[in-house]
Amino acid sequence: MDIRITPHPLSGEVTPPPSKSLSHRALIAAALAGCEERIGNLARSQDIAATRRCMEALLTPSDGFPVLDCGESGSTLRFLIPLALVLRGGAKFTGRGRLMERPMEPYFAIFREKNIHFEKNGGELTVTGQLTPGDYRLPGDVSSQFITGLLYALPLLAGSSRILMTSALQSREYVTMTLEVLRKYGITVKNESFQRFAVPGDQKYVPTDLTVEADWSQAGFWYAARALGHPLEITGLEPNSPQGDRIAAAYSEALPDTVDLSQIPDLLPPLAAMAAAKAGETRFVNAARLRMKESDRIATTANMLRAFGVPCQEGPDFLNVTGREKLRSCTVDGANDHRIVMAAAILAACADGPVTILGAEAVNKSYPTFFDEYRRLGGIADVL
């Protein structure tokens, strides 16, 4: 689906959708506790649908080896690999897009140490074996999703385990989210300064009620619009949220000259949109992990900005953006990346002429109603 946006001011009140990150975590814990129906305000997107169907497949008794279709959801894949080993002795994981290109070596290193069989073949990954209580070493600079996956699975083992970080933990707030959801479902984990996690064994997930709060990552795009001069009131967000992306609100008021993305990688596209209209240069650093998202997100963010006439320079782990007063009419490749599409739509509202966004259906991955909200706020977005 391609969309043509005719520049027009955005105004009004908007509430972001439920947090995708918290929805994944709540859905897994609730499924293990047998109380999925007690989750309120669960996100509705392709990624969350992937986690739901995979949990159903894992928990449905059958004699066959489970096949788990993760779609394009990295969270689903990485969160559920350890659980599949604990619950079913393994599984075959399938995916689409760039999913199976994402780094998996932190798990593979553990599997080699623990004599767990794994085989990666194109768009499929098969793992077979059993997790056992003990020490699990993980790097902290690849993805926090590996830590979350183990934190869900290790409490179900018969004995105690530890997760030991071999390098400083990035995306720390995502682990905080995981620990908070686990706590609500009755799981005890001792966090030792994000360097070690002690996980007692023989635990059970306890049914509870949980309401998913609004998504600060998605709110970042509306805050970008506000920073670009659109009078939006962004409501329904929890100011004391464990979501690290809540910093988007402060950055919309004053974007620093240097932004460290190590803890907030998902904010690059909306923050880059803010930088596009800011005087001078903004430098985004510690961004290497973004090259292995739904797209090479450093490169695709740079390409999006250049389409609008915004100068930028990219390196292995950085992106420098030089703001300009006018954004030109253009065509933007959405790169099959929901965050690139949404950032382009926000910039398009300020362009000097129509903007065509190719592959705009990518928003269905995380925010299916994005363009409905965009139009409700006054945006002009026509499907071609």
By the 8 A CB rule, do 78 and 149 touch?
yes
**Active-site residue, from 47, 215, 245, 266:** 266
**C-alpha–C-alpha distance, residues 88 and 85, integer Å:** 6
**C-alpha–C-alpha distance, residues 238 and 9, integer Å:** 27
**C-alpha–C-alpha distance, residues 287 and 55, integer Å:** 31
Is the C-alpha dihedral spanning 204, 20, 211, 34 positive or negative?
A: negative
Distance separating the N- and C-terminal Cα atoms of the chain: 7
**C-alpha–C-alpha distance, residues 276 and 234, integer Å:** 21
Phi/psi at 281 (5° precision): -100, 140
Please identify which residue in the block is written with the tokens 């949109």: 273
By the 8 A CB rule, do 222 and 14 touch?
yes
Residue from 13, 43, 11 nearest 25 by CA? 43
Please identify which residue in the block is written with the tokens 């996980």: 199
User: Is position 2 annotated as part of the catalytic site?
Assistant: no
Burial of 371 (0-12, 13-18, 19+ CB in 10 A): buried
Residue from 348, 357, 300 nearest 328 by CA? 348
170: DSSP letter:
S
**Exposure string (b/e) for 3-21, b if CB count within 10 Å is 16 or more?**
bbbebbebeeebebbbbbb
By the 8 A CB rule, do 46 and 70 touch?
no
Residue from 278, 273, 279 nearest 224 by CA? 273
The angle formed by the CA atoms of residues 131, 181 and 127, to the nearest 5 degrees, is 25
Torsion region of 122: left, alpha or beta (phi above 0 gives left; psi -120 to 50 gives alpha): left
| Residue positions annotated with a catalytic role | 266
